[in-house]
Structure 1
Amino acid sequence: MSRIAPMRPPFEKPEKLTAAEKRAGKDWMKRVKQLPCVICGAPAPSDAHHVIHGRYGHRRAPDKQTIPLCKAHHQDGPEAIHNGKKKWAEKHGFDYEYLPQVAAQIGEVDF
């Protein structure tokens, strides 16, 4: 079972990250980019997509809540999540549902 940080209402300021948390997030994203696309299996390097389904406002998800997507499924193709997240979710499910799979691929047991 994955542990996803609870979402805050849009009016609450997020807590500031420590330097160690920032480094851990950057390391996580570096490893995510080395994975194939979770949708089509296109080989790495992938984009580290911060999950957007179920988020409040425009605040970006934490770096540990990223999934590997090829350019076509991330930003550039007709099926890109940033070209229509509702249509993408209807076809592929919610992006956050892939977080446990990504953690397992990275070998992160305590996700």
Structure 2
Amino acid sequence: MTFARAPLGLKPPRPEPRPDYLAAVRSLPCCICAGWGMQQATPTAAHHVICGRYGQRKTPDTSAIPLCEGHHQGQWDTTKLAIHRDRSAWVEAYGPDTDFVAATQDALAHILERTP
């Protein structure tokens, strides 16, 4: 018998870590700076999406998106709206972070085709 989801009471297996994919995400420009015509002044970080996530489990590495430090944590670059500082304002300004997953995966399709 095949289940679409894990049976009740059982957690689905955790996806394999993909450090190669995360490194490639960090090589991309910030999706917010690029999309809204802002200048990126800090390095890109790989942000694991948090919108629409319920529970504490981190999303798979292959759903990470590129965000500059200002749009991600906002500790050094406080001139930008950081998702981890004010998620609701960030979502209101830019939309849910899950909206940027497909474009990131398209840009890195050559890495997704390879197995780790």
TM-score (norm 1): 0.75
1:32 aligns with 2:25: yes
Q: Which has the larger radius of gyration?
A: 2
Q: Which runs of 5+ in 2 are unaligned?
A: 35-39
Q: Is the 8 A contact 2:49 2:59 kept in 1?
A: yes
Matched residue pairs, number?
A: 99
Unmatched 5+ stretches in structure 1? 1-5
Distance 2:109 2:84 in 1: 28
Aligned-CA RMSD value:
2.8
Question: C-alpha deviations, 1:3-53, integer Å up to 9, x for none?
Answer: xxx998xx7534144xxx32xx11110100000000013278410000000
CA contact (8 A) 1:37 1:44 kept: no
Q: Aligned to 1:13, what secondary structure does the other structure show?
A: coil
Aligned counterpart, 1:103: 105
Specify the alignment match of 2:95 in structure 1: 93
SS in 2 for 1:61: coil
Please give the alpha-carbon distance, in whole angstroms, between the structure 1 residues aligned to 2:111 and 2:104.
11
Q: Post-superposition, which runs of at least 4 consecutive aligned residues in structure 1 deviate over 6 A?
A: none
Partner residue in 2 for 1:60: 58
- Aligned residues: percent identity? 37
Q: Distance in 1 between matches of 2:107 and 2:22?
A: 13
TM-score, scaled relative to structure 2: 0.72
